[in-house]
């Protein structure tokens, strides 16, 4: 299940307020600036910094 493009356009990283993008497997949102992955569960993005996963380099 992918997110609506309109929703993606208005969502921002809760930590830095920067842009986020859908990852390649479409099960999470990535903030390149913070290097965080916000998971999407049952079609709902979990936009909590404490729940985000740090991306590896």
Q: Look at domain 5-54 and name its CATH class.
A: mainly beta
- Per-domain residue ranges of the chain: 5-54
| Confidence at residue 48, expressed as pLDDT on a 0 to 100 scale | 97
| Confidence at residue 1, expressed as pLDDT on a 0 to 100 scale | 54
| Confidence at residue 50, expressed as pLDDT on a 0 to 100 scale | 97
E strand spans, the chain: 21-22, 28-31, 36-41, 44-45, 53-54
Distance CA 43, CA 54 (A): 21
Average pLDDT per consecutive 10 residues, the chain (57 residues; last block may be shorter): 81 96 94 97 94 93
């Amino acid at each position: 299940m992918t997110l609506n493009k309109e929703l993606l356009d208005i969502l921002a990283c809760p930590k830095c307020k920067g842009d986020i993008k859908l990852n390649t497997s479409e099960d999470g949102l990535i903030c390149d600036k913070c290097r965080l992955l916000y998971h999407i569960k049952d079609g709902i993005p979990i936009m909590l910094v404490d729940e985000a996963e740090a991306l590896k380099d």
